[in-house]
Structures are given as structure tokens and as C-alpha cells.
Amino acid sequence: MEHNIFVFALMLFPSCLAQNTLNSHEEIIEFINSNQSSWTAGVNFAGKDLRDLLPLFDGVRGLHPDLNFTIPQMKHNLENITLPSSFDARSNWPQCADIIGNILNQGLCGSCWAFATTEVMSDRLCIQSNGTVKMQLSAEDVVSCCSTCGDKCQGGYPSTAFQYWDTHGVVSGGDYLSNSGCKPYGSSEFDNGVAAECHQACSNPSYKTSHNSDKHCGANFYQVDGQESQIQAEIYAKGAVSVVFTVYEDFPYYQTGVYYHIYGAALGLHAVKIIGWGTENGHPYWLVANSWGKSWGGLGGFFKILRRLHQCGIEKQVLGADSRVCFPNPEDDVTRSWSTVVLSTVSIVFLLIVLVFCICSEKFRSIMFDSRIQHIWMNYLENFNCASLFKPSSENTVYEPLKY
Ligand SMILES: *[C@@H]1O[C@H](CO)[C@@H](O)[C@H](O)[C@H]1NC(C)=O
Ligand SMILES: *[C@@H]1O[C@H](CO)[C@@H](O)[C@H](O)[C@H]1NC(C)=O
Ligand SMILES: *[C@@H]1O[C@H](CO)[C@@H](O)[C@H](O)[C@H]1NC(C)=O
Ligand SMILES: CC(=O)N[C@H]1CO[C@H](CO)[C@@H](O)[C@@H]1O
């Protein structure tokens, strides 16, 4: 009941109250904080005009560049699943908690699509390997090298980032200036908002693994059904999902609480990672990792957004995938080892036959027992003719005297 009143209030507020355009950060913050109590607003981008930060708020071009492409759909059978009322992937997979909870910073580049997806890839790689493969996969690698992913720092497609993970693999990386992984996030993207050129090599000189053997791959990417319980079942079974939502003018001011849209026009589409859910003061929420650094907002870079009501479209483009080993591909490996065994056996047997044949041939033995063995050997090697070995030995061969 309480929830229904809340929903009703939500439907009224944005339309009635956000008519007049507020100018300063202070006015907007004041408006948000005095008109609702679900979430609090504050200063996040001090001294900046939000219009200069548009790449942060608008980094998604769409679901897939090919409108005719059919993304595989995932619908979980919920029959025997009891979903908890609150869930946090970090505490469910403590061996991967630092990867799941790692808040990154996309800087001035509109690369949220690469961050949300590589974060999900890293989580799932860690979870599926039970914490034995723990690394942040590189947003830099995807932003600079995925040619089918859209417009790099001007926005891209989360689904093709997952496809790229499947077909090309993604190397390890880390935040700007972190000096971690093969391709940490670069200054070009972070400071200038421009994607660097793609290089098939690690940019971090202190990283010891080679570029190709650092590739990690995905498989079976899919779109999760938009029902709340379906998204929950997916996160509960496999870990975080990547989602897309509309950023309105009020969102950049988020500090704490459960966000819902109360003020302002749409600024763009933003991709993020949902890692769990819960309820706060009666408001159900998704727990979400943003990619605007740890100092954005009051929750260390995380935020909570109203769950269940398709708030800002956050339940519409939910993507997941599985991790797989790319090098060596397990199937290739089996065939390769079999062919190696067969080939080396054949060569060894062949060499043995040749050797035995040589040793047993009369010609070979007569030379072997000659006193001037070394010179004969040299002569023999010079005039070696395999065909002669196969002649019947009945006719006594007469050797030419050796000349010196
Ligand atoms: C999608 O399919 C329609 C009909 O088959 C075709 O006319 C259109 O060109 C296709 N669009 C793309 C982007 O391939
Ligand atoms: C659910 O559990 C029942 C009883 O254990 C079992 O018969 C059924 O196959 C299960 N359904 C699924 C989808 O696993
Ligand atoms: C996963 O790792 C934990 C320790 O991190 C270990 O206790 C557990 O047995 C492992 N599970 C499997 C299935 O290997
Ligand atoms: C209903 C309500 O609290 N309205 C307030 C919304 O915020 C503006 C600006 O702070 C106030 O003037 C309204 O009273």
C-alpha cells in the first residue's frame, strides 16, 4: 500500500514540479532535497557545467548496431529458486569481492558501454574460476580495438562489446594511472576524451604476461528478460549484469538513498553494472556500480535506484554472458596433442627403420670394418645413394680404390 502511494507520487512529481528550469547547482540540489526524501542530492562536479560533461551522461548508442540482429534471450526457470529479499554479489562471492566492488573512472570519454561490460566480464571470469583468475579486464582494450562497438569515446553498444569478448578476447587492464594489467586506461581517453589507436601489444611495460596469452574470452552473451525476478535470478546465479538507463539532469547530483527521477530533462543513455538489490525505508532498489570514480556520490561510487518500476528504463537492456578460456581453446588443444603424438611416433618409427636398414646392409658393414674408417666415411657420405642400399647383395660389389 505504502509502495503504491509512492508510485503514484513518482508519476506526479516530475511532470508537475520540474516545469521551470533551475539554473544553478544549488537551486537544483535544493529542489531535489526539499521535494522528496528517498534520496539526497549534493555537489559532485563542483565548478563544472554539466553540458561540458555530456560524454559521461550519454555513452550508449543503442542495444546493437544491426537492428536486425537477434540477441539471444535468457529466461530463467524460477520454479525452484528462492530469491532473497536483499543480495550483494560481493558477499555472495567473497573470493571476488574486490573485483565486483572495484569502482573505476571513465574520465572524459563516453566509454561507459565498455566499462559496464568489461566489469561484468571481470566479475564473471572471477566467479566462474572460483577466484583463481582475478583481474580487471581492460576497458581501454575494448574502447580502442573494438571496431564493431560504435563510436569509441562518443558512445558504443554494450552487446557488441560482449560479442568482441567472444570473438577476440579482452586483455587485463585497470584504472588510469593504476599501472595494472596489460592495458590500463590511458590518458588519451581519461584526460582528452579521445580513444587511443588500437595496438596488439601491452601498453604497460612492467606487465609480464604477453598480449596474446593475456586474452580472456567470453561465450553465449544474452539479454535477460526485463522482469525484476528474472534479473534477480540472473545476478543470483552468475553475478553482476550490465544495464542501460536514461540519465536525467538530477542524477549527476546523487549522494545517498534510493534514486528516482524527480527533476530535469534527459541528458542521454548511460551503461552501468547492477551487483545486487535491497530495500531502504520501504523503497526497493538495485545496487549499482557507476564508472565515475570512487569520489562520485556518497556511497564510494555506487548508487541505489528504484527497482521494479522500470525507473529510467534500467530493466530494459540487461545483458549477461559466460566466461571461457580462449588460449589454448580446450578443443584445439585435444586435437593438437593427438596430432603431435601421431606425427612424432611416425617420424621416430621411420628413423628407426632407416637406421636398422643401414646398419644391417652389407655395404655399410664392409665400410665400418675398413681400417681407414674416417676417410671411407667421408667418401661414403659424399657418394651416399640410398637406392644402392636396396640392391640385392648377391653380386659381390667391387669398391673403387680410394684416391688421396
Ligand atoms: C533489416 O532487414 C530489412 C528487411 O529484411 C532490410 O530491408 C534492412 O535493410 C535490414 N537492415 C539492416 C541494417 O541490415
Ligand atoms: C524443481 O524441484 C522439483 C522437486 O525436487 C523437481 O521435480 C523439478 O524438476 C525441479 N524443477 C526444475 C526446473 O529444476
Ligand atoms: C572455491 O574457493 C574456495 C576458497 O576460496 C574453496 O573453499 C572452495 O572449496 C572452492 N570451491 C570449488 C568448487 O572449488
Ligand atoms: C512540495 C514541496 O516541497 N515543494 C518544494 C519543492 O522545492 C521547491 C524549491 O526548493 C520549493 O519551493 C517547494 O516548496
Q: How far apart are CA 124 and CA 213, in angstroms?
A: 19
Q: What is the pLDDT of residue 375?
A: 63
Sign, CA dihedral 253-286-237-271, equals: negative
Q: How far apart are CA 164 and CA 217, in angstroms?
A: 9
Q: Tell me the three state secondary structure of residue 248.
A: strand
From the alpha carbon of 77, which atom of ligand 2 is closest?
Answer: 13
In Å, what is the CA distance from 355 to each residue of 16, 32, 209, 238? 96, 90, 43, 59
Q: Tell me the three state secondary structure of residue 394.
A: coil
Q: What is the pLDDT of residue 353?
A: 73
Q: Tell me the three state secondary structure of residue 172.
A: strand
Cell numbers for 380: 661414403
186 shares a domain with 139: yes
Q: Which amino acid is at 257?
A: G
Question: What pLDDT digit, counting tens, does each position of 339-392 carry?
Answer: 666 677 777 776 787 677 666 676 666 666 565 666 655 665 566 555 555 554
377 shares a domain with 281: no
In Å, what is the CA distance from 286 to each residue of 7, 50, 105, 307, 363? 16, 25, 20, 6, 87
107 shares a domain with 190: yes
306 shares a domain with 173: yes
Q: How far apart are CA 295 and CA 290, in angstroms?
A: 11
370 shares a domain with 294: no
From the alpha carbon of 80, which atom of ligand 2 is closest?
Answer: 1
276 shares a domain with 205: yes
Q: What angle do CA 70, 76, 81 make, to 5 degrees?
A: 170
210 lines ligand 3 (CB under 6 A): no
In Å, what is the CA distance from 347 to each residue of 81, 324, 357, 387? 57, 35, 15, 20
| Phi, psi for residue 242 in degrees, rounded to 5 | -95, 135
151 shares a domain with 264: yes
DSSP character for 262? Answer: -
Q: What is the pLDDT of residue 343?
A: 74
Q: What angle do CA 129, 215, 152 make, to 5 degrees?
A: 115
Task: Indicate whether 275 belongs to any domain.
Answer: yes
Question: What pLDDT digit, counting tens, does each position of 178-209 carry?
Answer: 999 999 999 999 999 999 999 999 999 999 99
Q: What is the pLDDT of residue 13?
A: 47
CB 215 within 8 A of CB 5: no
Beta partners for 154? 110
How many CA atoms does the CB half-sphere of 163 hold within 13 Å?
19
Sign, CA dihedral 138-144-145-148, equals: positive
CATH of the domain at 106: 3.90.70.10
Beta partners for 277? 87, 286
The number of distinct structural domains making up the chain is 2
Strands (E), 192-343: 217-224, 241-248, 254-259, 266-280, 283-289, 302-306, 318-324
Nearest CA to ligand 2 atom 4: 80
Nearest CA to ligand 3 atom 9: 130
- What are the residue ranges in the chain where pLDDT is below 50? 1-19, 329-335, 392-399, 401-404
- 130, 133, 134: which to mutate for ligand 3, most atoms within 8 A of CB? 130
CB 165 within 8 A of CB 153: no
Task: Indicate whether 115 belongs to any domain.
Answer: yes
Q: What is the pLDDT of residue 345?
A: 73
Q: What is the pLDDT of residue 364?
A: 60
Task: Indicate whether 283 belongs to any domain.
Answer: yes
Q: What is the pLDDT of residue 349?
A: 76
Residue 121 belongs to what domain range?
2-324
Q: Which residues are catalytic?
A: 112, 270, 290
CB 304 within 8 A of CB 251: no
Residue where a domain terminates, one of 324, 351, 375: 324
234 C-alpha to center of ligand 2: Å? 18
Task: Indicate whether 349 belongs to any domain.
Answer: no
Strands (E), 19-102: 39-41, 73-74, 87-88
77 lines ligand 2 (CB under 6 A): yes
Task: Indicate whether 346 belongs to any domain.
Answer: no
191 C-alpha to center of ligand 4: Å? 38
Torsion of CA 183, 185, 186, 191, to 10 degrees: 180
In Å, what is the CA distance from 273 to each residue of 7, 188, 198, 211, 296? 24, 24, 25, 27, 15
Strands (E), 290-387: 302-306, 318-324
Sign, CA dihedral 106-112-115-116, equals: positive
69 C-alpha to center of ligand 1: Å? 10
| Phi, psi for residue 142 in degrees, rounded to 5 | -70, -45
